[in-house]
Amino acid sequence: MAHHDDDEFAEYFAAKRDSVRRTAYLLCGDWHKADDLAQTAFVSLHRRWRKIRDRAAVDAYLRKTLVRAAIDESRRPWRREQHTDELPEPRGTSDADALADRVSVRADLLAGLAKVPAKQRAVLVLRYFDGLDVSSTARALRCSEGNVKSQTARGLAKLRAALGEEVEAHG
């Protein structure tokens, strides 16, 4: 790889690594796995960096690679973890109740997302976290727009059901 290409890739990586890692976390629910997924996506991008003519398409390529890696990883049975319904008791802190509520809502949302199947979770993350429209999500996942719409509806229904269970369990 030419020196100019290395510099250009390093600059792109520095600009995107945090957002890609956050998206990966939303896809899998674990920071260590998110790091692995982000690394997989960036390694794949680096291998093809010189061949990419349209630099405007780099974000879409990286996003597609990340989502595919997350879905592939979720299909590997030896990598599945057993989730528990019991969370450790939080340590007593003097933080404001508002912060505690935000943390609780975030924990409930992440727990709910973990109960949504991988492809539906990917659609929800791309649509509502990354802010992609239906057609961009379809391109990222290499599926039809109708599939994105149905996966969105099913994923939201699963998430609502999971959040209903979480609210009942914590309420």
Q: How far is CA 89 from the centre of its chain?
A: 27
pLDDT in tens, 29-86: 889 999 999 999 999 999 999 888 887 889 999 999 999 998 888 776 655 555 566 6
pLDDT in tens, 108-159: 888 889 999 999 999 999 998 889 999 999 998 999 999 999 999 999 999 9
What are φ and ψ of residue 76, in 5° steps? -85, 110
Other beta carbons within 10 angstroms of residue 140's beta carbon come to 24
Q: Judge whether 122 and 141 are in contact, CB under 8 Å.
A: yes
Q: What is the topology classification, in CATH, of domain 1-78?
A: Rna Polymerase Sigma Factor; Chain: A (1.10.1740)
Nearest to 37 by CA among 49, 54, 20: 20
Is the pLDDT score of 101 beyond 80? no
Question: What pLDDT shows up at residue 79?
Answer: 53
- The architecture that CATH gives domain 96-171 is Orthogonal Bundle (1.10)
Question: What pLDDT shows up at residue 102?
Answer: 74
Question: What pLDDT shows up at residue 72?
Answer: 86
- Separation CA 10–CA 110 (nearest Å): 31
Is the pLDDT score of 171 beyond 50? no
Q: Where are the domains of the chain?
A: 1-78, 96-171
Question: What pLDDT shows up at residue 144?
Answer: 95
Give this prediction's pTM.
0.59
Question: What pLDDT shows up at residue 89?
Answer: 59
- Separation CA 71–CA 77 (nearest Å): 12
Question: What pLDDT shows up at residue 170?
Answer: 44
In three-state secondary structure terms, 81 is coil
Question: Residue 113: is it exposed, middle or buried by C-beta count within 10 angstroms (0-12/13-18/19+)?
Answer: buried
Task: Give the type of residue at 107.
Answer: A
Query: pLDDT grade, residue 14 (50/70/90)?
Result: very high
For the record, the structure tokens of 10 come out as 């390093």
